[in-house]
Amino acid sequence: MTQVSSTRDPLDLLIEWARAGQPCALATVTSTWGSSPRPAGSMMAVCANGRIEGSVSGGCVEGAVIEEARGVMDTGHPAALSYGVSSDDAWAVGLACGGLLDVYVAAVRTPAHPQGTLDLAMLETVAEKRRARVPVIVATDMATGASRLLYRTDAAPGGDTSCDLDARLAARAQEVFETGRSLRLEDANGQALWFLHLIPMPPRLLIAGAVHIAQVLAPMAQTTGFSVTVIDPRTQLATPERFPGITLETDWPDETLARLGVDNQTAIVTLTHDAKLDDPTLHYALNGDAFYIGALGSRKTQASRVERLREAGFSEAQIARIHGPVGLAIGAVGAAEIALSILAEIVAVRHNRPLGRVSGWS
């Protein structure tokens, strides 16, 4: 019987299983069309003991992919799978509503299971780079299963104009890094050659202010996949008792942001109502690449904040990046509902969805 583990990152769990000597495999979505619910690059880890983690379709084809993964673990040979409304088993695997889905399954190679094509040491390197928030592509030869790692320094600018395979890989890697989307490299006949899998960095939420709203927002954001850090030099507020399981930083927010670094997978929210803490945070954030910057406060508070930022030399375009008053207009009352409205806005911005506005939190 298949056992679904508690929610964890499939890549980290795959490495854990392989290190423990378990046969395991990674299923990765390489291409989609139509109503397929999971994008290219989505992963599902499968262990021979029946455990799985992650998803390739949101439930539509998981059962069929798990069965294929068992065969891949036995033989070591990777499998390129296709599911869609035109396939014989479309109804059986649940894609009768439309859409096409291609999945590539490879077994992990370890000393105990040398027949696999997905090298454990390479996966460990990928996990290490992801923890360091270094973007990396796993480029997989779709015919042999051989993989190599590509970094931004390997990517080449310009279009895909060369016939040399390495040059084509470098050019498409540049595209993957720029768009943030994994893709498949095909020949002139549409035959898949390589899959360029951009390993996603976990989205990160940095919260300035260990206040009551943060006590709800931090664990709520964790459940949706965000890596969360709460920043507040007021050590009587930033305590493990108030924030169990949450990373805490007690340096000044701007100093902490400078040390942690801010990339385009980072959201920043200020909740303190204190200009001594909020303003340095916003100054640093507005000069960085955060995909979301939010600030708690009433419209009057936001107007005062905007004026201070103008006086500090920030442009109107920079100031416009701030979502303030923070949160979607859902009529929220109390810390839990306000936290929900903030997280909903962060998710909407991350996925480029239209936003409603709030009237202002006090």
Q: Does residue 303 form part of some domain?
A: yes
Q: Which residues contact residue 129 at a Cβ distance below 8 angstroms, ignoring those fewer than 6 apart?
A: 135, 136, 199
Q: Does residue 159 form part of some domain?
A: yes
Same domain membership, residue 213 and residue 185: no
CA nearest 73: which of 29, 14, 152, 124? 14
How far from 29 is each of 8, 64, 156, 182, 278, CA to CA, in Å?
18, 14, 25, 9, 41
Structure tokens given for 190: 């549409």
Q: Which residues contact residue 358 at a Cβ distance below 8 angstroms, ignoring those fewer than 6 apart?
A: 325, 326, 327, 328, 329, 332, 341
Tens-place pLDDT, residues 288-305: 999 999 999 888 888 999
Same domain membership, residue 37 and residue 174: yes
* Count of domains observed in the chain: 2
Phi, psi dihedrals of residue 208, rounded to the nearest 5°: -95, 110
Same domain membership, residue 168 and residue 76: yes
Same domain membership, residue 23 and residue 138: yes
Residue 45, burial from CB neighbour count under 10 angstroms (0-12, 13-18, 19+): buried
Query: What pLDDT sits at residue 247?
Result: 96
Query: What pLDDT sits at residue 114?
Result: 94
Same domain membership, residue 109 and residue 77: yes
Phi, psi dihedrals of residue 319, rounded to the nearest 5°: -60, -35
CA nearest 230: which of 212, 260, 257, 209? 209
Between CA 30 and CA 269 the distance in angstroms is 34
Which H or E run includes 138?
A: strand 136-141
DSSP β-ladder status, 51-54 and 3-4: parallel
Q: Which residues contact residue 70 at a Cβ distance below 8 angstroms, ignoring those fewer than 6 apart?
A: 46, 48
Query: What pLDDT sits at residue 76?
Result: 94
331 φψ region: left (φ > 0), alpha (ψ -120 to 50), beta (else): left
CA nearest 242: which of 220, 261, 271, 215? 215
Q: Decide which of 169, 199, 229 is a domain's last residue.
A: 199
**Residue showing tokens 């928030």:** 133
Q: Does residue 285 form part of some domain?
A: yes
The low-confidence residues of the chain, meaning pLDDT below 70, are 1-7, 34-37, 85-99, 158-165, 354-362
CATH code where residue 239 lies: 3.40.50.720
Between CA 347 and CA 97 the distance in angstroms is 27
Same domain membership, residue 83 and residue 22: yes
**Residue showing tokens 């983690």:** 53
Q: Does residue 88 form part of some domain?
A: yes
Give the residue numbers spanning the domain of 309. 204-350
User: Residue 105 carries which side chain, given as an amino acid letter?
Assistant: V
Same domain membership, residue 223 and residue 237: yes
Displacement of CA 159 from its chain's centroid (Å) = 27
Q: Does residue 239 form part of some domain?
A: yes
Structure tokens given for 292: 């979301």
Same domain membership, residue 156 and residue 95: yes
Same domain membership, residue 182 and residue 75: yes
Between CA 1 and CA 309 the distance in angstroms is 59
Same domain membership, residue 219 and residue 189: no
Query: What pLDDT sits at residue 156?
Result: 72
Same domain membership, residue 123 and residue 12: yes
Between CA 136 and CA 131 the distance in angstroms is 11
Q: Does residue 358 form part of some domain?
A: no
Q: Decide which of 182, 199, 216 is a domain's last residue.
A: 199
Same domain membership, residue 210 and residue 180: no
Q: Does residue 43 form part of some domain?
A: yes
Could you please report the per-residue DSSP string of 28-95?
Answer: EEEEEETT-SS-TT-EEEEETTSEEEE-SSTTSSHHHHHHHHHHHHHH---EEEEEETTSTTHHHHT-
Q: Decide which of 199, 216, 241 is a domain's last residue.
A: 199
Q: Does residue 361 form part of some domain?
A: no
